[in-house]
């Protein structure tokens, strides 16, 4: 964006003056003391020309004429005063530009704001309905441009405000929604192109029909929907909880309905943009790195596509295909469904029969369906909602209206339920009308989705395994079926088999005191065998179906692996329901317990940390390329690194590891399992895993070991950066040593510290191809050769996955500088 710099040099709103040396000096001094000369207000006698600016009193916003992108057209707009090249947050004459720099902005006697073009024609005007004797125009520090009576600055008494006539940007304090009294709707509309702020294809509204929700539309078509409002957030909005700098406000009464984002910390500069491609993005300015950082995106992923799965279909981005019918529903058009055409949605497998008495089943963890055909009652209890909905045969579902605090009210649906997604922990409950005969069928409707998940893990690899137990055999034996072929062959893993009674005795009958922690699929106990050997026993929870697959997987992966940096499997125990793995015992437990413990971390001096990093790298290199199987661990993290009595690291927990045959190097899964904070973007978002996704986790681990802090939950000042982002910022400024504890700085060899941070950052680069292989990592750690420059890491902003999904999903997609491309 360019302002008219020539005009700007003239200063702000100054009458031409005769240029004597003295006055030149004065004007020079004034231009230095810009703040004192900048004004934020004009009245009807002042004429505002192209080149003049208004600067809000706190210096945050500036109003003037500008040219967007590479265009020469002039527009009146508002932008950030202190941020170079920031695109306009508001534009007055969006549709009709002034062709050259002779445009004028003026407040008329009757209190209307007008933009005049070079021939003095009004090309834009404010819609001011009231008249005032002495109107003035003022740019407020919130970014709101207001017309008001000169001596009346009550915020609710503006004659007109730009916050009611938005462009593509919403700022903290902007109300999006409807004023039913004036009939004015505030909504966002995208720019046509980055050179043309005229209204583009997309709009973002608060839709008050039924019960209010947020929608992004292209023309009249709804593309994405969030909501309805549930008292805390718009249903489906997964990020609000974590967002500490902002809170959502929702106001609804007979005069108005709107929603607003409020900054809890007013120093945070943040804007929400409806982009030219129809997505909502929130960007925050981070002064320290002098750049905009993307923070929230909606739609977050394909599952936010409006009614993607049709009626009673539910979308889960972790599934392949993404759509499934809700439990006890079946595809209306099975053939289309199998072609991934879900538009026809699903039907109840047992038709309703209201006269015979339908029932309501609870479905949990979902984004509530489209509420445009819903009705609400704010005072009823959930029990009363049910009674009401049962009585009315056309009432298809109900839920609690307000889930905040006390929780009250009801929302009723009267048509097919559309646009549902499976959000598990972020989702809500809904009660859906079902035939009474569905009551006895399993699960009482508590389990909501036809879960294709449980089987997924192993099936995907074309491996289907069955555990087989034979009483007299001394080895763990596993039946293994290849692909869909029926012939199966037995696999003997030559592992000693332990009796359940032996293990029970060794662990004091699985006493709580012996419990070491919780593994991927069940508790882990410390045991002492009769011969005095200490062991760690990983016991599969009987209730965990998922666990059985992981259990089998772990046996297969680790039974054949032997390396000093991998935990050693001593044997197994498979007896009826009871399934356990017996490992060597690690007296110093897992790395996280020492590393992230304020007092114990001092036990990890620099040489030990170096030793741990090197050991993990070697263990990883072994499973990646040196072992016979070539394995991707997929869940490398501090709590899966165990330490023996010499503090040698051993990689453990192969429950979700995958082995690669032949020349495969990458695979894809629809079931993303692992630990957020350690997952690479391509894995978390697209389910693609490879050795490079393990390398990413390794990089996170290295940074955690050097810095001594967790990546997830890391918080630094008012920036939204996670540990990776913070490390990268300091690395770019060549201040990496600031990352390290004073204590460590004193004992450590600084060049080694810097090298480790550098290697860590190389491993967490956003693009998998940029990351080194484990063999290169081992080499980098072992010599002093120069390292390549590290590029931007993946997932460097603290946020939850749904946010990350859309933003750092691929290295070729959007980068954080895109905002400035305008
Ligand atoms: C407008 O402001 C200017 C400068 O402050 C002042 O001289 C002028 O009298 C004002 N006009 C009105 C109508 O208030
Ligand atoms: C602003 O934009 C101009 C032209 O696009 C570019 O040359 C300049 O480097 C930018 N300034 C900053 C601070 O980004
Ligand atoms: C703008 O255009 C008008 C007519 O096209 C012309 O009279 C005027 O001088 C131009 N102004 C500038 C600053 O170029
Ligand atoms: C100024 O605006 C009027 C009315 O929109 C239009 O007819 C005229 O052509 C414009 N002048 C220029 C130079 O664009
Ligand atoms: C003012 O109102 C008229 C009619 O209601 C509308 O056509 C016009 O677009 C409005 N102008 C602005 C700047 O909103
Ligand atoms: C993998 O191996 C197969 C058969 O050996 C070969 O046809 C294919 O080109 C190889 N793929 C790659 C990526 O090397
Ligand atoms: C620091 O480590 C580097 C590389 O390992 C080594 O060359 C150097 O001598 C060490 N410096 C000190 C002071 O120990
Ligand atoms: C840091 C730490 O806890 N180290 C311990 C590791 O295990 C050995 C043997 O049990 C102990 O002697 C160390 O104190």
Q: What is the dihedral of CA 516, 521, 527, 530, to 10 degrees?
A: -170
Mutate to test the pocket of ligand 4, among 118, 121, 124, 125 (most ligand atoms within 8 A of CB): 121
Measured in Å, residue 603 CA sits from the centre of ligand 8 at: 9
Least confident of 26-35, 84-93, 353-362, 497-506: 26-35
Does 712 score more than 80 pLDDT?
A: no
Q: Which residues are catalytic?
A: 635
Preceding amide of 732 cis, omega within 30: no
Model confidence at 100: pLDDT above 60: yes
Which of the four pLDDT bands, split at 50, 70 and 90, describes residue 130? confident
What are residue 268's phi and psi, to 5 degrees? -75, 125
- Say how far apart CA 411 and CA 380 lie, in whole Å: 10
Residue 96 is predicted with a pLDDT of 95
Instruction: State which ligand 7 atom lies nearest to the alpha carbon of 750.
Output: 1
If DSSP codes are grouped into helix, strand and coil, which group holds residue 607? Answer: helix
At 196, list the tokens. 């043309």
Mean pLDDT of 195-205: 96
Question: What is the pLDDT, as a whole number, of residue 451?
Answer: 30
Q: Give the pLDDT confidence score for residue 494 in this predicted structure.
A: 62
Q: What are phi and psi of 748, to 5 degrees?
A: -90, 160
Q: Can you tell me the distance from the alpha carbon of 113 to that of 60, in angstroms, rounded to the nearest whole number?
A: 22
pLDDT band for 715, please (50, 70, 90 cuts): low
Instruction: Reply yes or no on whether the pLDDT at 661 is more than 80.
Output: no
Q: Is the pLDDT of residue 669 over 90?
A: no
- The better pLDDT of the pair 483, 408 is held by 408
- Judged by its nearest atom, the ligand closest to the C-alpha of residue 73 is 4
Question: With contact defined as beta carbons under 8 Å apart, do 80 and 89 qualify?
Answer: yes
Confidence of residue 6 (pLDDT cuts 50, 70, 90): very low
Q: Helix, strand, or coil here: 623?
A: helix
Q: Which two tokens stand for residue 195?
A: 């050179």
Do the Cβ atoms of 99 and 73 come closer than 8 Å? yes
- The number of the ligand 6 atom at minimal distance from the alpha carbon of 663 is 1
Nearest CA to ligand 3 atom 6: 118
Cα–Cα distance measured from residue 100 to residue 115, given in angstroms and rounded to the nearest whole number: 13
Ordered alpha helix ranges (H), 653-786:
681-686, 691-707, 723-732, 742-747, 750-763, 774-782
Helix/strand number for the chain, H first, E second? 17, 49
Contact 246, 163 (CB under 8 A): no
Ligand 4 contacts CB of residue 121 (under 6 A): yes
Q: Pick from 274, 331, 263: which is nearest to 298 by CA?
A: 274
pLDDT at 472: 32
Of 96-100, 776-780, 809-813, the range with the lowest mean pLDDT is 809-813
SS3 551: helix
Helix-helix angle 774-782:606-621, to 10 degrees:
150
Counting other chains too, the contacts that 405-410 makes at CB distance below 8 Å and 24 or more residues apart are 405/231, 407/231, 407/382, 408/378, 408/379, 408/380, 408/381, 409/376, 409/377, 409/378, 409/379, 409/380, 410/376, 410/377, 410/380, 410/382, 410/384, 410/385
Confidence grade of residue 763 (pLDDT, cut at 50, 70, 90): very high
What pLDDT score does 816 carry?
28
pLDDT of 209 strictly over 60: yes
Tell the residue nearest (CA) to atom 8 of ligand 8.
645
Dmax (CA) for the chain in angstroms is 109
Under DSSP, is residue 277 helix (H, G, I), strand (E, B) or coil?
coil
**Residue 492 and residue 707 in contact, taking contact as beta carbons nearer than 8 Å:** no
What pLDDT score was predicted for residue 520?
Answer: 64
pLDDT tens string 579-597? 888 999 998 989 999 998 8
Q: In the structure encoding, which two tokens stand for residue 524, read together?
A: 């882990």
What share of the chain has pLDDT > 70, as a percent? 79
Question: Which residue owns the Cα nearest ligand 6 atom 10?
Answer: 663
- Exposure pattern of 220-246 as b/e (b: 16+ CB <10 Å)? eebbbbbbbbbebbbbbbbbeeebebb
Integer Cα distance of 264 and 244 in angstroms: 8
Question: How do beta strands 463-468 and 135-139 pair?
Answer: unpaired
The pLDDT score that the predictor gives to residue 104 is 95
- Most confident range, picked from 111-115, 531-535, 628-632: 111-115
Q: To the nearest whole number, what is the mean pLDDT of the chain?
A: 80
Distance in Å, CA 4 to ligand 3 centroid: 15
Atom of ligand 4 lying closest to residue 118 CA: 13
Q: What is the pLDDT of residue 545?
A: 62
Ligand nearest to the CA of 109: 1
Residue 482 C-alpha to ligand 7 middle, in angstroms?
52
Query: Is the beta carbon of 117 within 6 A of some atom in ligand 4?
Result: yes
Q: Does 120 sit in the ligand 4 pocket, CB within 6 Å?
A: no
Start-end ranges of CATH 1.10.510.10 in the chain?
Answer: 591-819
CATH 3.30.200.20 domain span(s) along the chain: 482-584
Mean pLDDT of all residues in 370-380? 92
Alpha carbons 66 and 121: distance in angstroms, whole number: 19
- What integer pLDDT is reported at residue 463 of this predicted model? 24
How far apart are the C-alpha atoms of 768 and 699, rounded to whole Å?
12
pLDDT one-digit tens code per residue, 214-238:
999 999 999 999 989 988 889 987 6
Specify the higher pLDDT residue, 36 or 750.
Answer: 750
Ligand 8 close to Cβ of residue 646 (< 6 A): no
151 CB under 6 A from ligand 1?
no
Q: What is the DSSP string of 337-400?
A: HHTT--TT-EEESS---TTT--EEEEEEEEEPPP-TTEEEESS--HHHHHHHHHH-TT--EEEE
**Whether the CB of 645 sits within 6 Å of ligand 8:** yes
Q: Is the pLDDT of residue 10 over 50?
A: no
Contact status, residue 68 vs residue 87, Cβ threshold 8 Å: yes
CA distance 211 to 258: 12
CB contact set of 120 (below 8 Å; sequence gap of 6+): 104
As a whole-number percent, the residues of the chain with pLDDT over 90 amount to 43
Q: How is residue 673 written in tokens?
A: 């399992």
- Say which CATH superfamily domain 482-584 falls into: Phosphorylase Kinase; domain 1 (3.30.200.20)
Ligand 8 pocket, residue 586 CB under 6 Å: no
Pick from 261-275, 471-485, 543-557: least confident = 471-485
The pLDDT score that the predictor gives to residue 85 is: 84
Would the pLDDT of 808 be above 60? no
Confidence category of residue 688, pLDDT binned at 50, 70, 90: confident
Token code pair at residue 318: 């972790």
Average confidence (pLDDT) over 384-409:
89
What pLDDT shows up at residue 289? 65
The residues with which 535 forms a beta bridge, in sequence order, are 527, 584
> CA-CA distance, 788 to 22, in Å (whole number)?
56
* Cα of 539 vs its chain's centroid, Å: 33
Whole-number pLDDT of residue 813: 35
Pocket, ligand 6, Cβ cutoff 6 A? 662-663
d(CA 200, ligand 5 centre) in Å: 17
Parts of the chain belonging to CATH 2.90.10.10: 1-165
Residue 458 pLDDT level (bands cut at 50, 70, 90): very low
| Cβ neighbours of 84 (radius 10 Å) | 9
The pair of three-digit structure tokens given for residue 636, joined into one six-digit string = 């490398």
Band of the pLDDT at 796, cuts 50, 70, 90? low
Ligand 3 touching residue 49 (CB < 6 A) = no
Residue 738's pLDDT band, with cuts at 50, 70 and 90, is confident
Higher pLDDT among residues 407 and 80, named by residue? 80
> For residues 416-446, b (16+ Cβ closer than 10 Å) or e, as one string?
bbbbbbbbeebbbebbbbbbeebeeeeeebe
pLDDT of residue 334 exceeding 80, the answer is yes
- The reply to whether ligand 7 has any atom less than 6 angstroms from the CB of 578 is no
Q: Which CATH architecture has domain 1-165?
A: Orthogonal Prism (2.90)
* Alpha carbon of residue 23 to chain centroid: 56
Q: Which residue among 127, 165, 187 is best mutated to probe the pocket of ligand 5, counting the most ligand atoms within 8 A of its Cβ?
A: 127
Q: Is the pLDDT of residue 486 over 50?
A: no
CA distance 505 to 218: 67
pLDDT value at residue 493: 57
Spatial distance between the Cα atoms of 796 and 729, rounded to a whole number of angstroms: 10
For the structural domain made of 591-819, what CATH number should be given?
Answer: 1.10.510.10
pLDDT recorded at residue 7: 39
Please identify, by atom number, the ligand 2 atom nearest to the C-alpha of residue 84.
13
pLDDT at residue 600 in the model: 86
Rounded Cα gap, residues 600 and 592, in angstroms: 10
Confidence tier at 122 by pLDDT (50, 70, 90): very high
* pLDDT per position as a tens digit, 256-289: 999 998 888 888 899 999 999 898 888 888 776 6
Q: Cβ(603) to ligand 8 under 6 A?
A: yes
Q: What are phi and psi of 516, to 5 degrees?
A: -95, -25
Cβ atoms of 303 and 319 closer than 8 Å: no
């Amino acid at each position: 964006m360019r302002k008219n710099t020539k005009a700007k040099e003239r200063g702000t709103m100054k009458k031409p003056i005769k240029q004597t040396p003295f006055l030149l000096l004065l004007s020079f001094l004034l231009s230095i003391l810009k703040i004192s000369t900048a004004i934020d207000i004009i009245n009807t006698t002042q004429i505002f020309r192209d080149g003049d600016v208004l600067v809000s009193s706190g210096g945050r916003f500036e109003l003037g004429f500008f040219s967007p992108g590479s265009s020469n057209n002039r527009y009146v707009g508002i932008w950030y005063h202190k941020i170079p090249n920031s695109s306009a947050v508001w534009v007055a004459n969006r549709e009709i530009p002034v062709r050259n720099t002779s445009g004028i902005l003026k407040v008329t006697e009757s209190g209307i704001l007008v933009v005049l073009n070079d021939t003095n024609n009004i090309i834009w005007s404010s819609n001011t309905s009231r008249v005032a004797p002495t109107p003035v125009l003022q740019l407020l520090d919130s970014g709101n441009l207001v017309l008001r009576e000169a001596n009346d600055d009550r915020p609710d008494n503006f004659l007109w405000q730009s916050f009611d006539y938005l462009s593509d940007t919403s700022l903290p304090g902007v109300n999006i929604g409807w004023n039913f009294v004036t009939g004015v709707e505030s909504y966002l509309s995208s720019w046509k192109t980055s050179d043309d702020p005229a209204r583009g294809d997309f709009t973002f509204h608060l839709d008050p029909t039924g019960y209010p929700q947020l929608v992004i539309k292209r023309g009249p078509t709804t593309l994405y929907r969030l909501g309805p409002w549930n008292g805390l957030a718009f249903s489906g909005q997964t990020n609000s909880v974590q967002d500490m700098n902002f809170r959502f406000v929702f106001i609804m009464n007979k005069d108005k309905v709107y929603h607003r984002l409020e900054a809890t910390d007013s120093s945070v500069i943040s804007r929400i943009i409806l982009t030219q491609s129809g997505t909502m993005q929130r960007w925050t300015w981070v002064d320290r790195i002098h750049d905009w950082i993307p923070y929230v995106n909606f739609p977050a992923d394909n599952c936010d596509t409006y009614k993607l799965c049709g009626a009673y279909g539910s979308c889960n981005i972790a599934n392949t295909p993404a759509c499934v019918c809700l439990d006890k529903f079946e595809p209306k058009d099975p053939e289309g469904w199998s072609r991934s055409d879900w538009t026809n949605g699903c039907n109840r497998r047992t038709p309703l029969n209201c006269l015979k008495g339908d029932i309501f089943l609870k479905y949990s963890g979902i984004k509530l369906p489209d509420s445009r055909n819903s009705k609400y009652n704010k005072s009823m209890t959930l029990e009363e909602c049910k009674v009401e909905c049962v009585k009315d045969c056309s009432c298809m579902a109900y839920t609690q209206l307000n889930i905040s605090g006390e929780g009250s009210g009801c929302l009723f649906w009267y048509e097919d339920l559309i646009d549902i997604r499976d959000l598990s922990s972020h989702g809500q409950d809904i009660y859906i009308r079902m035939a009474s005969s569905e009551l006895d069928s399993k699960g009482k409707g508590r389990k909501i989705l036809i879960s294709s998940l449980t089987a997924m893990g192993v099936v995907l690899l074309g491996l289907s395994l069955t555990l087989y137990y034979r009483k007299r055999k001394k080895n763990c034996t596993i039946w293994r079926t290849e692909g869909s072929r029926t012939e199966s062959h037995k696999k003997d893993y030559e592992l000693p088999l332990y009796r359940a009674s032996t293990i029970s005795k060794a662990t004091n009958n699985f006493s709580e005191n012996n419990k070491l922690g919780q593994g991927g699929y069940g508790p882990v106990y410390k045991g002492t065998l009769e011969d005095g050997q200490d062991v760690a026993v990983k016991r599969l929870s009987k209730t965990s179906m998922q666990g059985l697959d992981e259990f089998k997987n772990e046996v297969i992966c680790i039974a054949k692996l032997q390396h000093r940096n991998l935990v050693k499997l001593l044997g197994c125990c498979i007896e009826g329901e009871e399934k356990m793995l017996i490992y060597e015992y690690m007296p110093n437990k897992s790395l996280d317990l020492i590393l992230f413990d304020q007092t114990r971390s001092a036990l990890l001096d620099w040489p030990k940390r170096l030793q741990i990093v090197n050991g993990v790298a070697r263990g990883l290199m072994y499973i990646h390329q040196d072992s016979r199987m070539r394995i991707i661990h997929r869940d490398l993290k501090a709590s899966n690194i165990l330490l023996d009595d010499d503090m040698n690291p051993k990689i453990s927990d192969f429950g979700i590891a995958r082995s690669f045959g032949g020349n495969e190097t990458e695979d894809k899964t629809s079931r993303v399992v692992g630990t957020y904070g350690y997952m690479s973007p391509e894995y978390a978002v697209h389910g693609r895993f490879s050795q490079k996704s393990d390398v990413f986790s390794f990089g996170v681990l290295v940074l955690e070991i050097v810095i001594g802090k967790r990546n997830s939950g890391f918080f630094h000042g008012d920036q939204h950066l996670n540990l990776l982002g913070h490390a990268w910022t300091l690395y770019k400024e060549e201040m990496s040593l600031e990352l390290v504890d004073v204590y460590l700085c004193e004992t450590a060899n600084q060049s080694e510290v810097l090298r480790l941070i550098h290697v860590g950052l190389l491993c967490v680069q956003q693009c998998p191809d940029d990351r080194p292989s484990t063999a290169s990592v081992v080499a980098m750690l072992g010599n002093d050769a120069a390292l390549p420059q590290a590029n931007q890491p993946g997932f460097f902003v603290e946020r939850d996955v749904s946010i990350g999904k859309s933003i750092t999903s691929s290295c070729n997609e959007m980068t954080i500088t895109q905002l400035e491309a305008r």
